[in-house]
Amino acid sequence: MHQERGAATRRRDPTIAGWLSIVPGLGQAYNGQFRKAVFFPIATLACILGSIVLISSGDRLSGYRIGVIAALLAGLVAVIVFMCLFVLGLAFWASSVVDARRSARDLSTGTASTARWWLLRL
């Protein structure tokens, strides 16, 4: 079984880990997975805050003298990027909960899951 350095050998409750992950990274910290505990909140906040900043700064385009078509295209691109970033942020948030529950279960039973269910392996 592969455990990160600093991960204690005591049992982890998957329910507690899942509830703690409502704040991304807390469930991973509970499990002793500190690289994940740093990654999940940064990724979630970067995506969600980036999308909010992008969409809230969209009204600045109206102050510039650009053509109507260019303004519409810029607005369309901004909305598409906003939606992609926002959904990606929510996916990181949900992945944090799922990962915390699975990791707590694996740490408690002493088995390492061989199924790679997400892209990054931290």
Q: What is the pLDDT of residue 65?
A: 67
Q: What is the pLDDT of residue 7?
A: 46
Q: What is the mean pLDDT of the chain?
A: 80
Highest averaged pLDDT of the listed ranges 33-37, 62-66, 118-122:
33-37
pTM for the model stands at 0.73
Q: What is the pLDDT of residue 71?
A: 74
Between these two residues, 68 and 35, which has the higher pLDDT value?
35
Please classify residue 15 by burial: count the beta carbons closer than 10 Å to its beta carbon, then call 0-12 exposed, 13-18 middle and 19+ buried: exposed
Tens digit of pLDDT for each residue in 5-38? 444 456 889 999 999 999 999 999 999 999 999 9
With CA atoms as reference, report the closest residue to 104 among 22, 35, 20.
Answer: 20
pLDDT at 108 over 80: yes
Rg (CA), the chain: 19
Tokens of residue 48, six digits: 């969600």
